[in-house]
Structures are given as structure tokens and as C-alpha cells.
Amino acid sequence: MGAEPRECLPERPARGPRLNWAEWAPLILLTLAALAGGALWLAGLRGAADLVWAAVTLVALLPATWAVLRQLWHRQFGVDVIAVLALAGALGVREYLAGAVIAVMVATGRSLESYAQARATRDLRALLERAPRRARRRAADGGIEVVPLDQVAAGDRLVVGPGDVVPVDGTAEEPATLDESVVTGESQLVSRAAGEPVASGVVNAGAGFGLRATRSAAESTYAGIVRLAEEATAHKAPMVRMADRYAAAFVPFTLALAGLAWLLSGQFIRAVAVLVVATPCPLLLATPIAIVSGLSRVARRGVLVRDGGSLELLGRARTLMMDKTGTLTAGRPRAAETVVAPGADRDEVLRLAASVEQLSPHVLAAALVRQARVQGLALGEPTEVTEEPGRGVRGRVDGRVVRVGQLAGGLPDWAERARRRAELAGRSVVWVSADDHPLGAILLEDPVRADARRTVRRLREAGLTRLVMVTGDRARTAEQVARAVGVDDVVAQCSPQEKAARVRAESDRAVTLMVGDGVNDAPALAEAHVGVAMGATGATASADVADAVLSVDRLDRLADAVEIARYARRIAVQSATIGMGLAVVAMVVAAAGGLPPVAGAFLQEGIDVLVILNALRALGGGLRRRDVPPATRELLDRYAGEHAPVRDVLARLRDTADLVATRPQAPECVPAVREVHRRLVDEVLPHETAEERQLYPALAGPLGSEEATSTMSRGHVEIAALVDRIGGHLAEHADGRLRPDEVPDLLAALYGLDAVLRLHLAQEEEDYFSLNPADGGGDTR
């Protein structure tokens, strides 16, 4: 595979913009000419010096005049006219040195603008340059053919070579190691197992692997991102248009002040001095530099904003509307719990269900298969598989007829308890039967993202004052999620039309953002001031109407984007205000005769450099988040991975507590308690101890102090105390029977430990594990 021509991998762009000598040549030549004039003046050849400076002024005046005439032809009136008048005025009063300084100033500003924009837009250009053009497709005869990307269709089997850009969205047929840094901003490599989705645009950082396309190139994630990038690089920043609107007041003011100075003093040179210091580089250059810098920074954080206007609105937003599924939750079901009939084995129930579901395209089937593989269960090969609409899937596994789906007839007691538990928790239920005997129930949920609550807090810190969740889900489920993430209001059971109407109503009161990921969110995204699509997992329709796309499946990047947008807008306004304020003061002094044209030109040059350097501050700063050191990220990854086996112990703990509650005198009761206690001592407590000694001290820096983990340390103490309490009960039962009087206290310890440990895991995932950008979210319950 490595020997194949890498035709779907464009050459990677350089990390920084290359110096474009063609753009800097006018500045260099004009500067050298002006310096040559200075040398002639010092040598006593003042006539020759004036001639050189006049030529420099004229060289700058001609293209500037052409640009202004072109603007006027298109019925545009901008502040460029002041620069033209200043250059022409300097020639008219024979202030050739002032004219040369203005010429160098204008050339310097344009060159700095080109350089800053090149630096600011390098990430957007990188997306465009990396767009693949071809793909390797497996042919019918088993060979590999290189085809144009537009010929790839859903269902095609592709080969992604080492270093290739993944051309379309698909499913990995083999394990893959991917570099998602250019698209998502993540620096760490990501592993994808066989059967997991792979987004287009990421780079294969390991060995070649097979990919089954799930979308065509035009419908894939990367294509939508590239379309946004193209639009972002083509649009004019809003502050530039704002500068042109300012010209309606600033240019008449400048001309009136220059005319007044000439009229009252009778000296035309004062009018020229006013025009010289009025040259409006702060509006022409500094503000768009700040905005484009903001566009670049949010792109590096994995947020593609359509244009500068959207970025400015993002920085002014006060209300945030959010869909639930796929935005605040993971967007795909997860097997949260398996409840089994008395005497049945939990792992065997899940294994049988996942085995028969392997051939089903249903989203719930994928959740069962994924959970079984996570637990390392060996799936059997199903035969005689049929799918009955409204009933589920039926097939034969290891000689047994297995049915997964609805349960026919009345529910036994254990099943009725499972159904009520699922209803109260807002989960769906899949029943599993073998040979017409119910074996168990698998409870599925769409888990709240681990970073959702932290992100909501950060969005409030960034200036959003009203956060509303709108969803088509049932009110009970929606309210549970709303409480978990901490939003201000929740609107449930909304149709797409109702969502759009609600967003429209909020938009009438304040600048409003809307975040969604599905086709049904597209109308609401279009109604918001800024529609944000979860592009990494969302539908193409929502991305097409959105003003911004989250190319990484992390909601916290929206908080980053809001903070960066506010900072960039603040820097833009600050640069314009400082620059124009200093210019107005200098204009008044020049009108009074205290600032000759030459001195005014040098002063304006200093003002321009000052505000442009200030605008370049938008390339960094403004983010509240603290960076997590690599060593701490490794610890977060490690302990986050250990939560899965801890949750398995939790499931056993809940089953054991239910057994003690319903059949305390059953022979298997005490052995079950003894087994779960053994696992708590051997698996859970060592995990908690290691966190206390290694992870929590490492988090002191990112969290701000060692006290930030003190409450979680107290949770470790409570968990250990409850485990000891259960062990104390077991020490009194050599005969393997429970006394009726001790059952309440044992139940209190079992159920109490279940609640405390679940809360503890959820808090760690929300407060700590969500600090790691490599952790894409998960369960918080």
C-alpha cells in the first residue's frame, strides 16, 4: 500500500506564510528612494533631493488615485480619498519630503496588511490546499484504482495510504491511527477501531487501512468545511465596511477642518498638514487585521467561521439556543446498563444481543455491538437473521433462537422493575430473549457530553447571559439534560418550525447564536444571527446554512470561539478608537499651525505603526482556559480509560443491591455481595488511591490551586468508608446467610456507595477529564 502513488495527498503547506517579495517590493523601492533623497539633501544637493521625493510622492499618488476612482465608479466612498488629497496637497505646496513620508507610510501600511492577513489566514488556506483531489478505490477484480474524488460514492471500499488525507467520510475497516490536528486543532494522534467512523480531511498517521465510504465527497464533512473556508477568505471583514461608513462623517470633517484652517490663516500649507495627519490607516488596516486574526484563531480551535461579519456578531452575542441531541449529548445511543433475569448472566445477555444485531443497520444495533466489543466479548456468527418491523431482530446464535427488541406478552416482576427504572432515568429499553424465554433488558441512553456543563459555565463567563435548550424530545428527558448542564430555560417537544420560531423571537431581543447538528436544525440555524453547526457529526443541510461549523466534536470549542471573537472585536474597536483619536488631536494642532506637514507625516507614521501592532495582538490572548501539560494529559487519558471497568463494577453493585432488596435469604445473596466487595477492593479502591497520589496533584496547575481537588478527595474518603462498611457485614457471615435486622443497613451501604461512586465519576469527567482536548466527551451520569 505504501508503494502506491500518493495522489490524494496534496503537499502540506508550510507552517507560516512565505515572504512575498512582490508585495513588499513597492515599500522597499519607495523607502530606498526616499533614503536616497535624504542622502542627496545631506550632500547639499537639495534640488535633486526634492526631485527624488517628488517622484516618490507621484509614484504613490497614481495607484492611490486609480483605486479611489475605481471605488467611486462602483459608488463606494471610502477614507482612501484623504490619502490621495494629502499626497496631491504635498505636491501642490512643494512639501516633497512630507509627500515622500506619506508615500512610504501608505506603502508600509499596505505591506503590513498583506503580511498580517497572510499570517492570519494561513490556517484557512491550509484547509483549501489540503483538499484531496483523488482517492484509491478497490476495483471489482481486487485491484486498486486511482479515481477522481467526485466518482466516489457511498458504499465504495477505499484504501487510505500512510500520510494520505482521508478523502470522504466513512467507516474504518481496520484499526487506524489518525492525525486530526489540521481540521480539529488537536495535537495528539487519535486511534479508530474497525467499524468506527472516520471523518474526511484527517491525515492517516499510521499504516494504510481500508475505508468504506458512507458519503460522497460533496456530502462529506471536509467538503462543507472547505466551502466555508473559501467563503471566509473571499469575504470582506465587517470592520472594513464600517470604516467606509465612518468615511461619511470623517472625510467631510477632515475637509471642513482643512478648509477652515486655510480660510482663517490664509496658509494653504496648514490645510495640507491637516490632510497629512488625517490619513486613516487605523480604519483601513488595523481593524480588518484584528478581525481576520480572529478568524484565523477560531479556525485553529476547530471552528470555521463563514466571514468577518459572523465573527463580529459572535463577539456581540448575548443569547445562546442549543439543540439537545448531538449538541449537549453525544448524539448516539450507548448501552448504559444491562438488567438480567434471576439466574441469567449479564455478559452472556449482551453477547447474544450484539451477535444477532451485527447485521442490522439500526442505530441501536450499533450501540449494542459497540458495547460488546468494548467489554471484549466474543460475538458469535448469526444465522437465519430476520427483522420484524415493530418487533425487532430475530436470529440463531450458537444454536439458540435469540430475539432482540420488544417483549411479547406480560412482563415478569424483574422486567417490570427494569421498565420503570428506564422510564425514570429517561432511557430506552431493548429486551433480549432466547428460545422464547426473556433473559434480560439492555438500557440505552444518549449520554450528556462530559464537557457540556463546563462549557456552559465558560459561555456565561464569555458574556452570554441567556442559554436555552430547544429539543424535540420528551419534556422529562429534556429537563433532566437541562438540569445536568445548567441552562436557563428548556423548550421540549419542538418541531423544526417551532424551533425556528423560537429562535426568531429570541433574535428580536438580542444577538442570538443557535447550535445544532441535524437536518431538523437547519431552519433554526438560518434564523439565528449566527448559526453554528456541529460539523464533525452533523448533517450536511445544517452545515450548509450555518455561519460557523465546529469541525471537532467538542462543544467547548464554541466557548473558545466566543471568547476569541469578543477579544478580536475589542482589539479592533480599540485600535480604531486610539488611532482616530490621536489623528483628530494631531489634526487640530496642525490646523492651528503647530504641526508642519513633514512633522505631521512622521507623527502619522508612528500612529499607524502603533495601531497596527496593537491590532496584531488579536493573534493571541483572550482565552480564559489554562493549557494542560502533556504529562497531565497522559494521566487524564489513563484515568479516563479506567472509568469503563469501574462502571462495570458499578453495574454489578446495583444488581447485588437489588438482589439483597428483593431476595435477602437467597443462597446466592451473600456470595454476590462478597464478589462485588472483592472487585471494589481489588479494582475500584486502587484506582481511587492512584488518582489521589498522581492525578490530583498534577491538576493543581491547570485548576489554579491544590484546593480545587479537595472536595473530590473527600469523595475518595467516603467511598473507602462505604466499602469498609460492606466488608464489615461480610465478616459476620460465615454461614452465608443475612439476618433480617442487618438488611436495611447493608442496603443503605450498597445503594449509598452506588450513588456516591456514580456522582464521583460524573464530577471527575466533567471537571477534570473535560480539560483534556483529546477526550471527546462521554457520560456524566
Q: CA 750 to CA 679: how far, in whole Å?
A: 13
Going by their DSSP bridges, the two strands 157-160 and 209-213 should be labelled as antiparallel
Task: Give yes or no for a contact between 236 and 308, defined as CB atoms under 8 angstroms apart.
Answer: yes
Locate 415 and state its grid cell.
422486567
Q: CA 641 to CA 633: how far, in whole Å?
A: 12
Residue 620: which of 577, 564, 579, 569 has the closest Cα? 564
* Cα R_g (the chain), whole angstroms: 33
C-beta atoms surrounding 479 within 10 Å: 15
Dihedral sign (CA 217, 218, 224, 229) = positive
Residue 772: which of 636, 659, 589, 638 has the closest Cα? 636
Q: CA 450 to CA 485: how far, in whole Å?
A: 10
Alpha helices in 510-642 (DSSP H): 522-527, 540-545, 556-591, 597-615, 630-641
Task: Give me the phi and psi of 146, to 5 degrees please.
Answer: -95, 120
What is the full DSSP assignment across 8-46? T-PPPPPSSPPP-HHHHHHHHHHHHHHHHHHHHHHTT-H
Spell out the residues 6+ positions from residue 255 whose beta carbon is closer than 8 angstroms to its own: 85
Residue type at position 304: L
Distance of CA 28 to the CA centre of its chain: 41
Going by their DSSP bridges, the two strands 530-533 and 548-550 should be labelled as parallel
Task: Give yes or no for a contact between 168 and 220, defined as CB atoms under 8 angstroms apart.
Answer: yes
* CA dist 279 → 253, 260, 605 (Å): 13, 18, 9
DSSP tag of 682: I
Q: At what angle do helices 669-679 and 710-731 cross, to 10 degrees?
A: 140
Q: CA 53 to CA 99: how far, in whole Å?
A: 7
Catalytic (active-site) positions? 323
Element (H, E) at 513: strand 512-516
Helix (H, G, I), strand (E, B) or coil at 605: helix
Q: CA 424 to CA 446: how far, in whole Å?
A: 14
**HEC letters along 386-417:** EEECCCEEEEEECCEEEEEECCCCCCCHHHHH
Cα distance from N-terminal residue to C-terminal residue, the chain: 44
Task: Give yes or no for a contact between 162 and 149, defined as CB atoms under 8 angstroms apart.
Answer: no
Task: Give yes or no for a contact between 217 and 550, defined as CB atoms under 8 angstroms apart.
Answer: no
Residue 333: which of 361, 377, 371 has the closest Cα? 371
